[in-house]
Structure 1
């Protein structure tokens, strides 16, 4: 029984994704019985899917998410959207193409970090790439890189991702050295990456985070130029579901 053109094409299409030689695939796609070719196509498709999964896992591994989240079941009720940005815009990641920044600002426990983490997951799955840091972990990473003489290389790696998340800005004040290191990250990212910041502090209080009102103003100036403010208000999710 001759092999159908559709079955033969399955073998070729799957094999080409595995970097196999087209002429060899076309020859072997017609050598066996339909059951044999079905088996071969299934194998090659499994190999293709495995490689695709590995490629998706690599960006997520580099991202640094402490606990990867998704938007499945996400509670949007605390979110107040700015003009020109809504849920569909966010989920499409169109802001990454425009290198726009987002400041997720508001009450503790209302879903800011969850949203930022889920955005990282989307960016990794769709392969623009993302990096996730808390403000304190970013300072420690940069300080260690500087002490080891590889600060430029570390900054370049951070700068390769389309999306950079800085979580918990304002939960702990930065010392003068840490503030300078974080400021340089913002300066490097300006108009080159999208930065998503989560914070519980209004802009007027960022001077207390950086220990310098002028430095805070310089950071805010860069963020608001191509940025949008997404506000969160409501009761903490953790408090609502607490055992106490």
Structure 2
């Protein structure tokens, strides 16, 4: 009787292990039908080896995907939230650091406007949040406003604007850095508005800017377009204010 029970338990353990391997195989090139043939003749030691092998393959695929996302997303520097100075930020009353770091705003396709003087840590925070998203397998695209406009103009001139917009649209988070640092002409405003309009309620945008909303019309050269852009941003967005002097000025070598 004990021998029979032991055999049943061993058989149940083997079947459970085979099912785990088949589940792991769904994210690998091997087909389940091939695996079933192999496992039908496999020993327990063979199954242990296959399970460990597939587990390592899946872990490596995950690491490679995260590294690829970070490489492709255009971040200018490698920034993280470790040691970040949160004292400069004034967050919305009902929305704090924990919710920002949870990345829930991306899940809900909400926007963030990081507003403050030059050198207060806006770009650092935007990049750090973007890289955190990549580590959570969320596709991100980072642009300065001027670089984004150059890409869009070049794509339009080459008759591939739709392709460029589709490539940007694959991201779930788009970061537009230094918005408002340079004035934008009428064509540039229309191109930029197309990206923002396409993103509305489908993906999140983080803007970093030193221009308050009332000045966006001056930057875009079109008050109506600025109003439409602000309307979309405010509807599903939050404003994070940065206070204090420029970090770079405080630590500049020339001031020492």
Which is further off, 39-48 or 217-226?
39-48
Q: Is the 8 A contact 1:176 1:210 kept in 2?
A: yes
Structure 2 alignment gaps of length 5 or more: 1-9
The 2-side partners of 1:141 and 1:237 are apart by 30
Q: Which residue of 1 aligns with 2:72?
A: 62
Retained in 2: the 8 A contact 1:82–1:228? yes
Which of 13, 21, 31 is the matching residue for 2:43? 31
Question: Does the CA contact (< 8 Å) of 1:12 and 1:25 recur in 2?
Answer: no
Contact 1:11 1:25 in 2 (8 A): no
SS in 2 for 1:77: helix
- TM-aligned CA distance change 1:17 to 1:149, over 3 Å: closer
TM-score, with structure 1 as normaliser: 0.86
Are residues 1:206 and 2:216 paired?
Answer: yes
1:150 corresponds to: 160
How far apart in 2 are the matches of 1:66 and 1:14? Answer: 36
Count, aligned residues: 240
Is the 1:12–1:26 Cα contact (8 Å) retained in structure 2?
no
Displacement of 1:18: 3.8
Q: Kindly state the Cα deviation for residue 45 of structure 1 after the two structures are TM-superposed.
A: 3.9
The equivalent residue for 1:160 is 170
Larger radius of gyration: 2
1:57-206 mapped onto 2 (5 Å cutoff) = 57-206=67-216
CA-CA distance at 1:127 after TM superposition = 2.1
Tell me which residue corresponds to 1:223: 233
Q: Distance in 1 between matches of 2:88 and 2:236?
A: 24
2:5 maps to what in 1?
Answer: none
Which residue matches 2:4? none
CA contact (8 A) 1:99 1:194 kept: yes
Whether the aligned pair in 2 keeps the contact of 1:131 and 1:163 (CA below 8 Å) is yes
Q: What is the aligned-residue RMSD (CA, Å)?
A: 2.6
TM-score of the two chains, using structure 2 as the length reference:
0.82
Structure 1 unmatched runs, 5+: none
Match of 2:246 in 1: 236
Cα drift, residue 13 of structure 1: 7.1
C-alpha displacement at 1:235, in angstroms? Answer: 2.1
Q: CA deviation at 1:208?
A: 2.0
CA spacing shift, 1:15–1:216, aligned 2, 3 Å:
closer
